[in-house]
Amino acid sequence: MDEAAPVDDLGICNNTREEAVKFARLAKENDWSTIILVTSANHMKRAGAVFQSEGIEVVPVACDFKGIGKADSWKLIPDQDRMIDLRTWLYEKVGWTYYRSKGWIRLEALPKK
């Protein structure tokens, strides 16, 4: 293959919603309706919902499964990795609530399960 794939730069995005808005404009200009969304497994639910709320159909490709597969027994004082997992989980839960409160995630725009 002798031609390079095009690369589009969205510029600086301060958050996932800003990225979705900028990408929605780019998708409309190029007549794209579906994208492959690659992001951390922990962030996929919120990122996918934001892009779908902007009218973009998403094929999720999650990566970075850091919180999966830990089956240690319960401990009174969790180890550092478990505290990082808790922080990541809380960050996404608070982020989801904040994005919903701003109208950046619209449940009616999400596919029905």
Return all residues near 51 (Cβ < 8 A) that are at least 6 apart.
20, 23, 24, 35, 37, 58
Percent of all residues in the chain with a pLDDT value above 70, rounded to a whole number:
89
Name 43's Cβ contacts closer than 8 Å, sequence gap at least 6. 16, 92
Asked whether residue 51 carries a pLDDT value surpassing 60, the answer given is: yes
Model confidence at 68, pLDDT cuts 50, 70, 90, reads low
Residue-level pLDDT at 26? 94
6 pLDDT tier (thresholds 50, 70, 90): confident
**The pair of three-digit structure tokens given for residue 92, joined into one six-digit string:** 């996404």
Closest to 56 in 3D by CA, of 19, 96, 88, 90: 19
> Is the model's pLDDT at 106 over the cut of 80?
yes
pTM score of the predicted model: 0.82
Residue 27 CB neighbours (<10 A): 20
